[in-house]
Structure 1
């Protein structure tokens, strides 16, 4: 990728971070609602990030952002996130997720820094009946991720995802598409897709 494209992408992403931080009324007065029940065994495996509200920790990622979840012997979930950086190299980080709501199993505390008692920061608010895609947001609605088992969902699935984002109380324009091999190639606001 040439330096002008990198600068343009960095400018767009940086602008989005400012917009997210300054967005009035971003967080709804109502708490984020998790799905009624997450089947953890079905949720495990590899997910591709199709869109996200930009976060400082993922600005290094240019494309092919993935999350892999596996079960640890103690019942916690091992998290391994990876992506291709703007310079074409690889980036990877490992962490752990703990279920914070045993009733739904859809609220978790994900930590990459080994916090002793992290708070809930990962809420599955929508999921495809076949576990083909999922929407995850944090309780403040300042972070969000559209995850998919495939890089190119159908137009119908995208419509359902945008509906789920609105139902979660988040503006789909805050989500930027995540380029992936076999999927989207541009970074654009999800509301324009």
Structure 2
């Protein structure tokens, strides 16, 4: 589910190129909803909130990644990054993430998503075998569905601190009007839309660019 991916890290030059792209992006940020004031007066954005209720049965299946905050584990993905979810039981969902690499191969990893919030069903802990610092299948929520379209055609997912963010879609291509809607929702959820880069998909956008410029 979005940040659930862990693919081979690309070379440092690729990471540097991503850093340069982010540095060149205009500083456009959406409002941070319900900011939290710390004990010393510092203002922090409130943790990313889940949707009120996620219909798990409708959420299962395959999704295309249309945009994301770059992560070290998927810099090797050239295009067609997907996530497929299947029901294990009422508390666990199987995760199968795949992408096409720059050499034309397929990279992927399988894991587990455990529901931490049975009320909303939209806050989960995702883990993968052999990946450190995840605490096994039990742990704090690191995958929050913060927006889901009424028809379940697209979703916005991230971690509570917004260090990750993923735009997922049932289709590899969306209209210009849908891209504008996506950017609006991303910013309303407290993200800087310039920090999410579009993800190339077959039949969709071929290039990589900041979401704020789409």
User: When the two structures are superposed, what TM-score results if normalisation uses the length of structure 1?
Assistant: 0.86
Quick check: 41-50 or 31-40, which moved more?
A: 31-40
Matched-pair contact (CA < 8 Å) for 1:16–1:174: no
CA distance in 2, matches of 1:74, 1:102: 9
- Structure with the bigger RCO (C-alpha within 8 Å, sep 6+) is 2
Partner of 1:71: 87
Q: Could you tell me which residue of structure 2 aligns to residue 182 of structure 1? A: 203
- Structure 1 residues 78 and 32: alpha-carbon distance in aligned structure 2, compared to 1, 3 A threshold: same
Bigger fraction of residues in helix: 1
Q: For residue 57 of structure 2, what is the aligned residue in structure 1?
A: 41
The CA RMSD over aligned residues, in Å, is 2.4
Instruction: Give structure 1 stretches of 5+ with no counterpart.
Output: 1-5, 20-25
Gaps of 5+ in 2: 1-10, 25-30, 33-43, 131-135
Q: Distance in 1 between matches of 2:143 and 2:79?
A: 22
- Aligned pair count? 182
Query: How do 1:125-136 and structure 2 match up within 5 A?
Result: 125-136=146-157
2:159 is equivalent to residue 138 of structure 1: yes
Alignment of 1:12-27 (within 5 A): 12-15=17-20
Runs of 4+ in 1 over 2 A off after TM superposition: 6-19, 26-29
- Deviation per residue, 1:129-173 (Å, 9 max, x gap): 000000001111010000000011122211111111111111010
Structure 1 residues 188 and 135, CA, compared in 2 at 3 Å: closer, same or farther?
A: same
Query: Where does residue 122 of structure 1 map in the other structure?
Result: 143
TM-score normalised by the chain length of structure 2: 0.78
